[in-house]
Amino acid sequence: MPEKTINGTTITVDDDGFMTDHSQWNREVAAALAEEEEVTLSDAHWKVLDFIASDFAEKGKVPGMRRMNKVGGIPTKELYTLFPGGPIKKAAKIAGYPKPASCV
């Protein structure tokens, strides 16, 4: 597995840059990953990231768009505003989880 160093922390990633060991993730790593994706984290971003974490703990996979809308209460339009150009994929990467199966 490839490795990359972010803010002095070495993380393992897959070929698409998604973390492979979530235990290496922390808020500083998230901020650096967000910067790479040209996203500046705000409280609204953290609401999405926190939902992904709690849902992943429950279901064992990154929630899709419909689940983010229905269960997370986060409208599609807001997700695209917060994470332009692929909200679920970008949010999962920043949250330190694997690439969602629904994303190509």
Active site residues: 103
Closest by CA to 82, choosing from 71, 70, 94, is 94
**Residues near 15 by beta carbon (within 8 Å), at least 6 away in sequence:** 2
Cα dihedral value 66, 93, 58, 76, nearest 10: -20
